[in-house]
């Protein structure tokens, strides 16, 4: 088909404008992401046990300034009125582990590049820890005047928005004031909004590498995703994939989603289209996964009282 010259020129200009706007809205990939890398781990990738003997591990995150991973250990053997006692440990690769913050009350961990952010069940909120002084400060603990349940996992966007899940796993004897188990967004400017209040028990949370999708796993085995608008708000949930008992999640630089299947003890790797690329047997009570190391190609996995690592052919995000 032939087009008049004027129409063709207008189309070219429109396409160029659209491409420019799209590029402006799409965040630049992290420096450790190498263009063209697509090969993920495979189902028979080598899995290394690096530590054992903990009570219950969660929330791994890579901290560049420490050149280390941090992760939470929860102790369910003591009093549970305010959730389990929790300690944050530091892992210096390959296997040196030292205490980092005692009595942290933490579950999921993330970083904004300056400090450590944690979902904390002891005060039912989001907490900030200084990575230098380890001083604790409250970020958020209520929505519309009502206390959260027991925030579980979180992801931080490039613009500074915090998306987090609030099931009731560590609620203890405290009342559910919100009347739901929800997913929320704390905007960089301080406003808090409900992303979804219809889920049974939302758990793992992850943002796509291009910041255009928010992924949330639910206890019913369904992983949904929400389109993220340019202002950080989200569209309606769309079903993405099904994984038995999905827990923590991570994202590699090609946009593949890594999902810890808690009861099954398997790590699933899903393509951006929701197709299964790999499924690895790890260990029962699999809870979470994160990329780290100098090239972001070490995958740290928490499972019950054990820590595992996998060497990945592709880099990924720190939580």
> Is 247 one of the annotated binding-site residues?
yes
Torsion angle of the four alpha carbons 62, 65, 66, 69, in this order, in degrees rounded to the nearest 10: 0
102 annotated ligand-binding residue = no
Q: Which of 44, 247, 252, 281 is catalytic?
A: 247
Using a 10 angstrom Cβ sphere, with 0-12 exposed, 13-18 middle and 19 or more buried, the burial of residue 93 is: middle
Length of the chain: 319
Which region, left, alpha or beta, applies to residue 67 given φ > 0 means left and ψ of -120 to 50 means alpha? Answer: left
CA distance 51 to 300: 11
Please tell me whether 210 is known to bind a ligand. no
**Does residue 168 have an active-site annotation?**
no
Q: How far is CA 155 from CA 65, 250, 281, 318, in A?
A: 19, 10, 26, 10
Nearest to 175 by CA among 193, 203, 148, 144: 148
Task: Establish whether 152 is an annotated binding residue.
Answer: yes
Whether residue 192 contacts residue 228, with contact meaning beta carbons closer than 8 Å, is answered with no
Binding residues for substrate, by number, are 152
Q: Which residues are catalytic?
A: 247
Binding residues for a divalent metal cation, by number, are 58, 203, 247
Binding residues, by number, are 58, 152, 203, 247
């Amino acid at each position: 088909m032939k087009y008049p010259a004027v129409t063709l020129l207008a189309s070219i200009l429109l396409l160029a404008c659209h491409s420019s706007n799209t590029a402006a809205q799409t965040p630049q990939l992290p420096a450790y992401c190498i263009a063209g890398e697509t090969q993920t781990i495979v189902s028979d990738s080598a899995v290394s046990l690096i530590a054992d003997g903990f009570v219950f591990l969660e929330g791994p995150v890579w901290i560049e300034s420490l050149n280390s991973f941090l992760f939470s250990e929860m102790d369910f053997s003591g009093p549970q009125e305010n959730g389990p006692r929790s300690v944050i440990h530091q892992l210096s690769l390959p296997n040196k582990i030292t205490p980092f913050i005692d009595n942290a009350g933490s579950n999921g961990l993330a970083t904004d590049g300056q400090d450590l952010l944690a979902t904390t069940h002891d005060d039912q909120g989001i907490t900030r820890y200084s990575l230098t002084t380890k001083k604790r400060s409250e970020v958020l603990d209520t929505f519309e005047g009502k206390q959260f349940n027991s925030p579980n996992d979180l992801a931080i966007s490039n613009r500074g928005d915090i998306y987090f899940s609030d099931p009731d796993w560590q609620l203890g004897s405290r009342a559910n004031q919100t009347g739901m188990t929800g997913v929320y967004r704390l905007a960089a400017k301080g406003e808090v909004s409900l992303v979804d209040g219809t889920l049974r028990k939302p758990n793992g949370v992850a943002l796509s590498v291009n910041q255009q999708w928010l992924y949330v796993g639910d206890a019913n085995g369904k992983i949904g995703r929400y389109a993220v608008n340019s202002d950080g708000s989200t569209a309606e949930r769309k079903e993405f994939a099904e994984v038995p008992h999905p827990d923590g999640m991570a994202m590699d630089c090609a946009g593949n989603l890594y999902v810890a299947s808690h009861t099954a003890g398997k790590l699933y790797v899903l393509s951006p289209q929701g197709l299964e690329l790999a499924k690895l047997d790890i260990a029962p009570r699999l809870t979470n996964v994160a990329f780290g190391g100098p090239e972001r190609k070490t995958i740290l996995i928490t499972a019950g009282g054990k820590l595992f690592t996998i060497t990945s052919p592709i880099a990924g995000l720190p939580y």
